[in-house]
Structure 1
Amino acid sequence: MGIKSFLGSRKNQQKSNADLPIKVSDYMSKNLITFKSEDHMDSVIDSLIKHRISGGPVVNDNHELIGIISEGDCIKQISESRYHNLPMENNTVGKCMITTVDTIDGNMDIFDAAVKFLESKHRRFPIVENGKLIGQISQKDILKAAMNLKGHTW
């Protein structure tokens, strides 16, 4: 006995919205908590705790991305301050942030972004357009996109 397809003929089907690629810009966060290089580490730690985030972009006065500060960077500063018995109040974001930042294009397919997350082990990627920070995509945003596609063909 042969296998019957209940889908019917496929050659006349039009592409639906579910078949269109989902872009990073569809799921990126646009209202970001950002930091300045002159911010003190104490205020950064307070912001991370208050807003329940694990890090954030560092921008200059022109809203251009100049670095990333994370919980790990903060923990490193706490540890070094305690080890050397130095006050943390002299530490600023500019001294502690990571300045080599990987970014993602907002037009990238969400599944290509997922692969980039797996390859890099980063928790977030900023999105820059014309030199300005316009958003950020996190691993959680990728999960949200996948859950919205639940039941659809990948």
Structure 2
Amino acid sequence: MELFMGKIFSLTNNLAGRNFSQGNSYEEEEEKENGNERHPEKVPEREEELSDTFEEFLEDFMPSEKEGERFESCLWMTIEDLMTRNVVTIKENAPLEEVFSLFGKFPYHTFPVVNANNELVGIIDLDVVLEILLLCLVPRSKHTPLTAIRSLGGKARDIMITHPVTISLDATLKDASDLMMKHRFDRVCVSNNGKLAGIISKKDLVKEICRRRKKVSLG
């Protein structure tokens, strides 16, 4: 990093010495009138490893075209190769106590809810669970029809969020990344013909990108 900043500083000084601006011409004329003519500092005849232009300087730190192509290829790989297939799910008829225990047991913020045919029918997230658990602390005047329904619900299907955002099995890593960034999701359910095929998480994406970067640097 010090070498990098040092080259930037040297290049900046070098470019500044090429008279791109008028500089402090007023001060120079005043010094000449007073007999104190200012002599320009000697510029070293040779700057080691100094590029002639800023563009050439940046090229020293950019990956080669071949390396860039190899790394960019991971953006277009399908998430089928990255997703988790053995997903912890909640059955739509599961009692609320079972739902609460799953959130206490696993470090996930969301769980998919499926029916008997493994079709994705909804999701339950931490916000919903906290809203129910802390409902007794909320004044009745703050209750909404939705919170009332959820507080009286006895099954997972009564509190789940219906029509969850999903991603298709043939979507790319870039598609999944854009979706998660847009909606601020940590995990997204992968759907295939209406059935739950798996889950893709931000951690999965980061892990794969880091693996590709390491492979390119070593390759």
- TM-score, shorter chain, exceeding 0.5: yes
Identity among equivalent pairs (%): 24
TM-score, normalised with respect to structure 2: 0.57
Give the C-alpha shift of residue 93 in structure 1: 1.3
Equivalent position SS for 2:203: helix
More helix by share: 2
Aligned pairs, number? 146
Q: CA RMSD in A?
A: 3.2
| Matched ranges for 1:1-154 at <5 A | 19=73, 21-83=76-138, 91-151=154-214, 152=216
Structure with larger Rg? 2
Q: For the residues of structure 1 that align with 2:136 and 2:94, how far apart are their CA atoms?
A: 17
Q: For the residues of structure 2 that align with 1:44 and 1:65, how far apart are their CA atoms?
A: 16
Amino acid at match of 1:111: K
Q: For the residues of structure 1 that align with 2:157 and 2:105, how far apart are their CA atoms?
A: 21
Q: For the residues of structure 2 that align with 1:98 and 1:125, how far apart are their CA atoms?
A: 14
Amino acid at match of 2:132: Q
Amino acid at match of 2:83: M
Amino acid at match of 2:203: K
Contact residue 167 and residue 189 of structure 2 kept, 8 A: yes
The structure, 1 or 2, with the larger RCO (C-alpha pairs under 8 Å, 6+ apart) is: 1
Q: Aligned in 2, Cα 1:8/1:75: closer, same or farther, shift over 3 Å? A: closer
